[in-house]
Amino acid sequence: MHLFKYEQEEYKAEGINNTYVEFTDNRECLELIERKPLGLLAILDEEVVVPKGSDTTLIAKFHSNFGPDAKEKQHKHYDKDKKSKDAFVVKHYAGDVTYEVRGTTLCVCVNRRFEWS
């Protein structure tokens, strides 16, 4: 449960008068990134230890699990990048962020600046 929602429910249960705060629940986006065994980070962790793992196989796994050509259905917080075959987009609550895969590192493109992680 989201922390803000939990706190508001606690206040209500205890009879504490407070103003309800609207917030964006980003649980689904966080699960896309952190979920095991099939979140972005879990797939990245697996790919860096696979003997024939590469940028191409990593991005293919991301697309096949979350993109328009996903086995199940496309994740609403994930998309292929329209400019680069080696990139993907995570649709965060604050906006879309493009991640480019290069040599088992992710390059985050934010406002056309590159930050290596």
Report whether pLDDT(9) > 70: yes
Residue ranges making up the domain that contains 10 = 3-116
Report whether pLDDT(42) > 70: yes
* Mean pLDDT for the chain overall: 80
Report whether pLDDT(96) > 50: yes
Domain count, the chain: 1
- The pLDDT, as a whole number, for residue 69 is 76
Report whether pLDDT(25) > 80: no
Q: Model confidence at 104, in pLDDT bands (50, 70, 90)?
A: low
CATH number at residue 7: 1.20.58.530
Mean pLDDT over 89-107 rounds to 78
Length of the chain: 117
Q: Comparing C-alpha atoms, which of 59, 66, 71 is closest to residue 39?
A: 66
Q: Model confidence at 103, in pLDDT bands (50, 70, 90)?
A: low
Write down the pTM of the prediction: 0.72
Q: 102 pairs with which residues across the strands? A: 105
CA dihedral 96, 93, 110, 114 (to 10 degrees): -100
Report whether pLDDT(22) > 80: no
Which of residues 28 and 113 earns the better pLDDT score? 28
Mean pLDDT over 86-111 rounds to 74
